[in-house]
Amino acid sequence: MGDAVELEVGGRTVRLSSPDKVFFPERGFTKLDLARYYIAVGPGILRALRDRPTTLERYPEGVGGENFFQKRAPKNMPDWIPTAHITFPSGRSADEMCPTEAGAVVWAAQFGTLTFHPWPVRRDDVDRPDELRIDLDPQPGTDYDDAARAAHELRAVLDEFGGLRGFPKTSGGRGLHVFVPIEPRWTFTQVRRAAIAVGREMERRMPERVTIKWWKEERGERIFIDYNQTARDRTIASAYSVRPRPHAPVSAPLRWEEVGVAHPQDFDLATMPARFAELGDVHADMDDHRYSLEALLDLARRDEHDHGLGDLPYPPEYPKMPGEPRRVQPSRARKDS
């Protein structure tokens, strides 16, 4: 595997063992390639992770080996990487790492971390999100181009309800994510309610192309707006994260004019450093903005008052929530009635 190497990252020395270990056999990318990638895009991924409790998606033997999600900060984590105490829906809690410098990202890569999953909160207030995250998830029969069409309509919806600006990125797979920086004034429950309002408005505008139906049997060949990605402890891969697929794709921040023109396969561990060197972080100004959710929450209240559209089901592992409808798929409910 080769002798260990030491990498200088933002004033930190990070030791990388087995640098020649192949993490992506199809492309031949090694652990050292992964670390160098994260150094190349360091300012970008640090902007996405800074001060956020972060779950590590680890593949110690590469994409062909076993993997796991590490939520609790590793015991061997350096003392210069801070943590935040977060609480899960189950009531259990943990200390998660909160990167504040690029060296923390490379340190995690040393242990086989491919993808970083940050919470939408900062460590100084872990109960009030500062991002509204919209996940456009293609269902069978749809693809990335369908998600891109939905994203452009989503852009219009966000602008209409509060003058919100979304920042789009590829998921690293077939989907798209749009993040909106918000004031950290609302709870997870309220932010999720705003996401549901966005989804319902999108359904009204694109009924044949978009759905917010939680049960797969009801979605059809449409783009699913996964509102539950805004629930507590649900996270989305960060911008610039490498995804665990054979060709080593990355989650790529986009400018709006690139949505529908650029495609996910354009961005991988080999191509993103050159793009970053040329353009820098195209979402670099994201933290300069903070938007209000009041217009979307007003929309949610009107949906409920005028149309009887209240809450929607949570994921199965969550405790029953106040106002939540029956958490049973429609076909089973019909059999039970």
Contact, 238 vs 119, CB < 8 A?
A: no
The pLDDT score that the predictor gives to residue 288 is: 97
**Bridge partners of 169?**
177, 253
- pLDDT band, residue 87 (cuts 50/70/90): very high
Output the six-digit token pair for 45: 């991924």
Q: What is the domain extent for residue 120?
A: 5-124
Give the model's pLDDT for residue 337: 60
Could you tell me if 117 and 139 lie in one domain? Answer: no
283: in domain: no
First-residue to last-residue Cα distance in the chain: 61
Would you say residue 314 lies in a domain? no
Question: Is 135 within the bounds of a domain?
Answer: yes
- The pTM is what? 0.96
Q: Which one of 108, 124, 140 terminates a domain? A: 124
Q: Please list, in sequence order, all residues whose beta carbon lies within 8 angstroms of the beta carbon of residue 150, skipping any fewer than 6 positions away.
A: 136, 176, 202, 206, 209, 210, 223, 225
Are 148 and 293 in a shared domain? Answer: yes
Q: What is the CATH number of the domain that holds 210?
A: 3.30.70.3300
pLDDT, mean over the chain: 96
39 and 82 together in one domain: yes
Tell which of 74, 94, 124 closes a domain. Answer: 124
pLDDT of residue 320: 93
Task: Please give the tally of structural domains in the chain.
Answer: 2
Let me know whether 19 and 111 are in one domain.
Answer: yes
Helix ranges (H only) for the chain are 31-40, 42-49, 102-110, 144-160, 188-205, 216-219, 272-279, 294-307, 330-336
| 305 Cβ contact list (under 8 Å, min separation 6) | none
Per-residue confidence (pLDDT) for residue 329, from 0 to 100: 87
- Closest by CA position to 89, among listed 189, 213, 236: 189
204/157 Cα distance (integer angstroms): 11
Please state the rounded mean pLDDT for residues 293-321: 96
Q: Do 141 and 224 fall into the same domain?
A: yes
pLDDT digits (tens, 9 = 90+) for 149-187: 999 999 999 999 999 999 999 999 999 999 999 999 999
Separation between Cα atoms, residue 68 and residue 57, nearest integer Å? 6
CATH number for the domain spanning 67: value is 3.90.920.10
Inter-axis angle of helices 294-307 and 188-205, to 10 degrees? 70
Domain end: 124, 140, 159, which one?
124
Q: Are residues 151 and 298 in the same domain?
A: yes
Mean pLDDT of the region 4-30: 96
